Amino acid sequence: MDSGRASITAIGTALMRSAHTRLDEPVLVDDPWGDRLVLDEEREAMAARSGGADLDSVLRAHPSYGTVILRARYAEEALAEAVARGVAQYVIIGAGMDSFALRRPEFARDLEIFEVDHPSTQELKAARLRACGAETPAGLHLIAADLSETALDEALAGSSFRSDRPAFFSWLGVTGYLTREANLATLAAVAACAPPGSELVFSYLDQRLLDGGDGEGAMGAVRAQVASVGEPWISGFDPALLGADLRGARLELVEDLGPTELATRYCATRSDGLTPSRGSHVARARVSL
C-alpha cells in the first residue's frame, strides 16, 4: 500500500457493509458507518473508475461483496462466544474503517478494543471520526503500525494491551496483500502476545487460486483491479496445509470455512444472491499450550 494514503480496499469494504445494511434482506451485519466515514468525493471517484455506474450496484455486483459481509458476520459470532467465556480484549488487525465500537456500543462497552492498522489509514480514520462527531468509547485504542515493518506483538506492547489476559483477534481481508512470510510472522505474533485459549478469526485466499493464474473470469478481474490501485494480491494459504502452518505458529485450527461451507451456513435461505467468492476462506484458530 502507498504510505501516503489510506487503503482503497479499506474504504471499499466499508462502503460494501453500508450497502448491505441498506439494501439486503435479511441483514447479516448492521453497519451504516461506511456512509458516514467515506467522503462524497471518494464515492464519486470509485464510481468514475467503474464507468460512472451507480456505486451501490457496482459494490453489490463485486465478486468480493458477499465474502466481505460473511466474514464480518462469522468473526462477530466468534467474538460473542469469546466474550461469553470472559474474554475482554478484542484486537482488530488491519482494522481499516471497521466500526464495531461505534455500531455495537452495548457489546463494546465492556471490551478493550485495539484497532491496529497502517499509520496512513489510522490518521484518516481518526480525522473522519472527529469530523462526524462520533462518540468513541473509552476502551477504543487506535494503534498505528505498519505490520510489514513492526511485529504485531511489538505494536501491542506499546499500548495498554495485557498479554497475560486472554484476547480475541480478527484479521479480515488482509492476508492476501502480504507475503507468506509476513502472514506466518503475524500468526506467530498472535500466539506470542496472548495466553493459551485466545482465539483468532482470519480470512485468506486459497493459494491454488493464485497459482492457477486466474487471469480470466470474475476473480481474475478483481485481482487486476486491486493491483491497479497499488494493493495487489500476493499470497494465500493451501487449505490442506493450513493446520500445519498454524501449528508452526503455536496455533491450532478450530474451523476452516470455504465458499461452499460459508454459503451453506449463511446463504441457504437467501433470495438476494448474496454469496461468497471463489477461493475465499474464513478460519478460526486457537492459541495452544
| pTM score | 0.92
pLDDT at site 228: 54
User: Is residue 223 predicted with pLDDT exceeding 70?
Assistant: no
Judge whether residue 217 has pLDDT over 80: no
Question: What does the DSSP assignment read for 106-144?
Answer: HHHTT-EEEEEE-HHHHHHHHHHHHHTT----TTEEEEE
- Residue 184, pLDDT > 60, answer yes
Burial of 77 (0-12, 13-18, 19+ CB in 10 A): middle
pLDDT in tens, 117-158: 999 889 999 999 999 999 888 999 999 998 888 999 999 999
Q: How does residue 226 score in pLDDT terms, banded at 50, 70 and 90?
A: low
Give the span between the Cα atoms of 195 and 185, in whole angstroms: 17
Domains annotated on the chain, with CATH:
63-287 (3.40.50.150)
The grid cell for 46 is: 470509485
Q: pLDDT confidence of 218, banded at 50, 70, 90?
A: low
pLDDT value of residue 232: 79
For residue 274, give the nearest of 58, 28, 92 by alpha carbon.
28
Residue corresponding to grid cell 491450532: 252
The rounded percent of the chain whose pLDDT value lies above 70 is 91
- Per-residue confidence (pLDDT) for residue 289, from 0 to 100: 86
Query: Using the 8-state DSSP alphabet, how is residue 150 labeled?
Result: S
The cell numbers describing 266, all together, are: 449463511
Asked if residue 1 has pLDDT above 60, the reply is no
Contact 26, 49 (CB under 8 A): no
Q: What is the pLDDT of residues 16-28, one digit of tens each?
A: 999 999 999 999 9
Distance CA 51, CA 12 (A): 16
Per the model's pLDDT, the better-predicted residue between 245 and 49 turns out to be 245
Partnered with residue 205 across adjacent β-strands are 280
Q: Is the pLDDT of residue 47 over 70?
A: yes
Q: Is 92 helix (H, G, I), strand (E, B) or coil?
A: strand
Least confident stretch, 87-91, 105-109, 113-117, 152-156: 105-109
Band of pLDDT at residue 216, cut at 50, 70 and 90: very low
Give the mean model confidence (pLDDT) for residues 33-39.
94
